[in-house]
Amino acid sequence: MQLSSLNLGQPRDLGPTIAMPSGACKLPVAEPVWVDAEGLTGDFIGDRRRHGGADQAVYLFSQTDLDWWAQELQRDDIGPGFFGENLTLSAGWPEPRVGDRLAIGALRLEISFPRIPCATLALRVGDPRFLKAFVAACRPGWYARVLVPAAVQAGMPVVLESRGTGPSCAALFAAWHASPRPADLLRLALQAPIAERGRRAFEHWLQQPVA
């Protein structure tokens, strides 16, 4: 794998239904960028309740999935940063899992959760029906926490250093949108280093009475 692109977002108004500026529209930058527990230096995060934070400091997406969406949607404007990812990788790796660890130079990342789509994504794409398509495709990309901060630059190799023992990100993404949700999978996920947002949701769902 290779780091194809580093992408930063600036404040942008996506319309009257979004109460705050968004950094979802990210563009590639050529220069090195410092990455730490707060994310990428110079990257704007509007809604910090759903995005950013130590467990979701970096959002990764693959060029393979960008190409798939460009073909699926028949659009020629889908490139690095289109889905709001900070790091565009040349490709993914087999069955990404919570706890997988990646090295990009001195930077060390740990996969923490799949990306959960929200209304901002639909506005970014320009189609209110897109969230259903995004869920059905099960190509969410991956959030990661920063274990060792460092500066990185497009073109650097990306190494999968170790595999996590948690559930696959695809399984967690499907479980998030399932009805009913698989209790055994939620319990298994709680034993893995999942992002705090996912942990709170899974603990809440497990406490609900079974219909």
pLDDT 10s digits, 86-136: 999 999 999 999 999 999 999 999 999 999 998 888 888 888 899 999 999
Q: Is the pLDDT of residue 53 over 80?
A: yes
Alpha carbons within 13 A on the beta-carbon side of 180: 10
Within 20-141, strands assigned E span 26-29, 33-36, 39-40, 58-62, 87-89, 101-104, 107-114
Q: Is the pLDDT of residue 14 over 90?
A: no
Q: From the options 3.40.50.12780, 2.40.33.20, 3.30.497.10, 3.30.43.10, give the CATH code of 3-166.
A: 2.40.33.20
Mean of the per-residue pLDDT values of the chain: 92
What pTM does this model have? 0.92
Q: How does pLDDT run across 15-32, given as a tens digit for each residue?
A: 656 656 777 789 999 999
Q: How does pLDDT run across 118-128, given as a tens digit for each residue?
A: 888 888 888 88
With b for 16 or more beta-carbon neighbours within 10 A and e for fewer, the 34-53 pattern comes to ebbeebbeebbbbbeeebbb
Q: Of 118, 164, 131, which Cα lies nearest the Cα of 14?
A: 118
- List the domain boundaries for the chain: 3-166
- Per-residue confidence (pLDDT) for residue 13, from 0 to 100: 75
Q: Is 10 helix (H, G, I), strand (E, B) or coil?
A: coil
